[in-house]
Amino acid sequence: MMVREALMMTANNADDPDNDYGWGIVNLTEAIFYHPEGDIVVEHFPVTFATEGMGSYRVSAEITCDHGLNVGELKVFWNTTGVEPFDAIPMNSAGGDSFYADIPDQGSGTTVYYYIYAQDSYGLSGLQPLGAPEHLYSFIVGSPRFYDGFEVGTYAWVTGGDGKKWGLSADYSYTGVLSLTDSPLGSYESSSNTWVAMRAGVDLSTVNSALLSFSHRYKIYTDDFGYIEVSTDGGSSWEQLGEAISGAQDSFVEETRSLDDYVGEQDVRIRFRLTSDVFDNQDGWYIDDLNIILNPTGVEEESGDQVPLAFSLSQNYPKQLDRDSLFDSRG
Ligand SMILES: [Ca+2]
Ligand SMILES: [Ca+2]
């Protein structure tokens, strides 16, 4: 599917395009989630845990298409440069709609870039992330972390609750051009209880410590709240992680929350939830550059009891966040 098609088909005049208004106002969030019937759908949670000596790094995905896939043409393209050419690895079936490919072991400190290529039974292809190979998934060998800069969709997240649906916004971003927000168009609604949660968990069973960090800005009325929550049971139950967010913060600031209490757990997920009462709805909460930084067992910590932030934040930005390519970073 073409990006242009997605933008046109989800614009507000799409049902009745005319010469005066064309396809209407572009709805960015709906465009990113747009899947016409028959489209290839790839659900992939990015590789988080990669260390030298593991043997290989598994890229897993659920891939579906209404009229069938050409399973001989499902591939992971990868390299360590982030630019063409890429090496192709055929994906194997893991049963049902699940497929995987193993990227070979790399030296510690290497950044591995990859994207998923799928072909349907008509020979039409789809790429994930959207915009590949300009946009790519990446991970750093020896610096395990979950990272999301929200530049390539919200594939790693699920939404729910009452009120507006969480989605992407181009109104503000810390890096790149997009951030994650509770109410992409305008203010949040009265009596909201709306959330966005990680689709899969991060494994903290073999780490010494773990830290959640993200950048955010917000305008949340004083009787309304943003909560950061953690689940260790696959999203069935959630507990609050530190203080709730409320009030106004007009520029992006970094927020960190220790996940040390969850070391030893195999499935640790983060959720952001916004609640409101019936008065004074405001613009809401913008989140960008989310990291869950893992300090693996056996790696000596530099000092103190916190994971050093320099561990991953100061180097080896994923390709889509290469500092030279940023053209709209409003802090
Ligand atoms: Ca971003
Ligand atoms: Ca809003």
Average pLDDT over residues 224-247: 98
pTM value > 0.85 = no
What's the CA-to-centroid distance between 214 and ligand 1, angstroms?
A: 11
Q: What is the pLDDT of residues 276-297, one digit of tens each?
A: 999 999 999 999 999 999 986 6
Q: Whose atoms come closest to the Cα of 29: which ligand?
A: 2
Q: How far apart are CA 294 and CA 311, in angstroms?
A: 9
What's the CA-to-centroid distance between 30 and ligand 2, angstroms?
A: 15
What's the CA-to-centroid distance between 90 and ligand 1, angstroms?
A: 30
What's the CA-to-centroid distance between 23 and ligand 2, angstroms?
A: 24
Q: Whose atoms come closest to the Cα of 189: which ligand?
A: 2
Q: In the predicted model, is pLDDT for residue 303 greater than 70?
A: no
Q: What is the pLDDT of residues 187-199, one digit of tens each?
A: 999 999 999 999 9
What's the CA-to-centroid distance between 134 and ligand 2, angstroms?
A: 28
Question: So what's the pLDDT on residue 328?
Answer: 32
What's the CA-to-centroid distance between 169 and ligand 1, angstroms?
A: 9
Q: Whose atoms come closest to the Cα of 171: which ligand?
A: 2
Q: Whose atoms come closest to the Cα of 220: which ligand?
A: 2
Q: Is 262 helix (H, G, I), strand (E, B) or coil?
A: helix
Question: So what's the pLDDT on residue 49?
Answer: 84
Q: Whose atoms come closest to the Cα of 180: which ligand?
A: 1
User: Are 180 and 288 spatial neighbours (Cβ–Cβ below 8 Å)?
Assistant: yes
Q: In the predicted model, is pLDDT for residue 11 greater than 80?
A: no
Beta strands in the chain (DSSP E): 40-44, 56-65, 75-79, 87-90, 92-93, 98-104, 111-119, 125-128, 137-140, 145-148, 157-162, 167-169, 179-181, 193-198, 207-220, 225-231, 239-240, 247-258, 269-275, 284-296
- Kindly state the greatest CA–CA separation across the chain: 65
Average pLDDT over residues 301-315: 35
Q: What does each C-alpha distance from 159 to 136, 179, 182, 271 come to in angstroms?
A: 23, 15, 10, 9
Q: Which amino acid is residue 198, in one-letter code?
A: M
What's the CA-to-centroid distance between 327 and ligand 2, angstroms?
A: 22
Per-residue exposure over 134-162, b if at least 16 CB sit within 10 Å of its own CB, e if not: ebbbbbbbbbbbbbbbbbbbbbbbbeebe
What's the CA-to-centroid distance between 137 and ligand 2, angstroms?
A: 27
Burial class (CB in 10 A: 0-12, 13-18, 19+), 294: buried
Q: Whose atoms come closest to the Cα of 163: which ligand?
A: 2
Q: Whose atoms come closest to the Cα of 281: which ligand?
A: 2
Q: Whose atoms come closest to the Cα of 290: which ligand?
A: 1
What's the CA-to-centroid distance between 287 and ligand 1, angstroms?
A: 8
Instruction: With CA atoms as reference, report the closest residue to 31 among 256, 193, 185, 197.
Output: 185
Instruction: With CA atoms as reference, report the closest residue to 63 among 145, 104, 118.
Output: 118
Distance between start and end Cα atoms, the chain:
33
Q: How far apart are CA 116 and CA 274, in angstroms?
A: 33
What's the CA-to-centroid distance between 34 and ligand 2, angstroms?
A: 21
What's the CA-to-centroid distance between 57 and ligand 1, angstroms?
A: 25
Q: If DSSP states are collapsed to H, E and C, what string results for 108-158?
A: CCCEEEEEEEEEECCCCEEEECCCCCCCCEEEECCCCEEEECCCCCCCCEE
Question: So what's the pLDDT on residue 306?
Answer: 37
Domains and CATH numbers, the chain: 3-33 (no CATH), 40-142 (2.60.40.10), 157-325 (2.60.120.200)
What's the CA-to-centroid distance between 138 and ligand 1, angstroms?
A: 15
Q: Whose atoms come closest to the Cα of 284: which ligand?
A: 2
Q: What does each C-alpha distance from 313 to 35, 164, 201, 213, 269 come to in angstroms?
A: 33, 31, 21, 10, 20
Q: How far apart are CA 192 and CA 182, in angstroms?
A: 10
Which one has a higher pLDDT value, 144 or 215? 215
DSSP state of 310: G
Question: So what's the pLDDT on residue 312?
Answer: 30
Q: What is the pLDDT of residues 144-199, one digit of tens each?
A: 889 899 987 888 899 999 999 999 999 999 999 999 999 999 999 999 999 999 99
Q: Whose atoms come closest to the Cα of 289: which ligand?
A: 1
What's the CA-to-centroid distance between 324 and ligand 1, angstroms?
A: 14
What's the CA-to-centroid distance between 178 and ligand 1, angstroms?
A: 4
What's the CA-to-centroid distance between 302 and ligand 2, angstroms?
A: 40
